[in-house]
Amino acid sequence: MIQSFLWIAAVLPLQASTTTVDDQTTGDEARGQQQTVLTDETPELTFEFTPGVWLMRLRGDASNGPGNAPDLRLDTQLGLTDLVPAFRGEAIIARGDWSVRIAGSTFNTSGSTTAEEVSRWGSVLLTPGLDFTSSFDMSYVAAEVRWRAWNPLGKETLTKEHPVRLGVGPNAGVSWLDIDQSLSTFNQTVSNGHAWWTVWGGVNMDFEFDMSRFVSWMDSIRVHALVGVGGTPADGGLMWQAGGGAQFFFTPNIAASIGYRYEKYTLEDGDWKVNPNFQGLFIGGTIRF
């Protein structure tokens, strides 16, 4: 009897020890699974909004009439020479190497001039010495998808170990452009208006540098550039665009932006043909979430 009791007393601690080891192993596995969840490396979704002023000059030419109506310069022959401070807004939604950029602008300009040679605008015969006024209104919305396919320098984001980043990749986009144009003399007015869809593809580049290690009042500087070529599938032809600029981030979320935007279109609607160039400095501020 005493031997049986001693045998039971010896076996029970061994069983309790085995149970403790099993429980500890189960707990370690649970903590490992929890750590796997906590170390998820899914890129963070970011949003940037940059409202600003596009200091734009309207260039290009237009014609209005059947057959071989003469092309008239928008600035020198139609009087649209003013520097136009137009509103422009740009937003970027990004996750990792993929991003979507949305841009929009609107402006209107007008001017007065005197015809220097015989020409025609619709039903209006322009003769030397005839005074007339013209106007040009534009609204524009565009969206493009960007892929940072190659990082020759640095990683996706700036770190202490990688303070410089350079990314290059393709982009593809679509834009909607609405234009209204009119010409008036003392007794006649000709007005035209139409909207066009344009598609394009191109290449974009962005370079980012950590400034916080050098100065206390600036977080980073980002330099970007893009170029795209496309066309208007219906009632138009070739279009192309180019742009670039710099953003000075004083904090990780607030920056001052300055850049240049250039867009050229070939458009037509019946006898009215217009080939505008929109170009100028873009100055604004960026908020990043």
pLDDT digits (tens, 9 = 90+) for 118-160: 999 999 999 999 999 999 999 999 999 999 999 888 777 777 7
Same-domain check for residues 155 and 178 = yes
Q: Output the pLDDT for position 41.
A: 67
- 195-227 pLDDT, tens per residue? 999 999 999 999 999 999 889 999 999 999 999
Which tokens go with 224? 């970007």
Which tokens go with 158? 């700036």
* Counted domains in the chain: 2
Same-domain check for residues 4 and 110 = no
Exposure class string for 62-71: b at 16+ Cβ within 10 A, else e: bbbbeeebee
Same-domain check for residues 11 and 122 = no
Same-domain check for residues 115 and 257 = yes
Q: Which residue has the higher pLDDT, 260 or 16?
A: 260
Same-domain check for residues 34 and 64 = no
Same-domain check for residues 64 and 159 = yes
Same-domain check for residues 88 and 177 = yes
Distance CA 187, CA 181 (A): 17
Per-residue DSSP letter, 236: B
Q: Locate tokens 């099993």: which residue?
A: 22
Rg of the chain (C-alpha set): 32
Q: Strands, DSSP E only, in the chain?
A: 45-64, 72-73, 83-95, 98-114, 119-121, 124-126, 131-147, 150-153, 164-184, 189-210, 220-231, 238-251, 254-264, 267-269, 272-288
- 155-174 pLDDT, tens per residue? 777 777 788 999 999 999 99
Using alpha carbons, select from 26, 42, 23 the residue that is nearest to residue 34. Answer: 26
Same-domain check for residues 35 and 51 = no
Give the dihedral sign, CA 111/258/165/155: negative
- Give the CA count within 13 Å in the CB-facing half-sphere of 131: 3
Same-domain check for residues 137 and 273 = yes
Q: Output the pLDDT for position 98.
A: 95
Per the CB < 8 A criterion, the answer to whether 286 and 48 are in contact is yes
Same-domain check for residues 95 and 15 = no
Same-domain check for residues 8 and 93 = no
Per-residue DSSP letter, 219: -
Least confident of 146-155, 185-194, 249-258, 268-277: 146-155
Which residues constitute the domain of residue 30?
A: 1-40
Which tokens go with 98? 């993929």
Same-domain check for residues 142 and 20 = no
Residue 255's DSSP bridge partners are: 249, 286
Using alpha carbons, select from 90, 56, 37, 115 the residue that is nearest to residue 276. Answer: 56
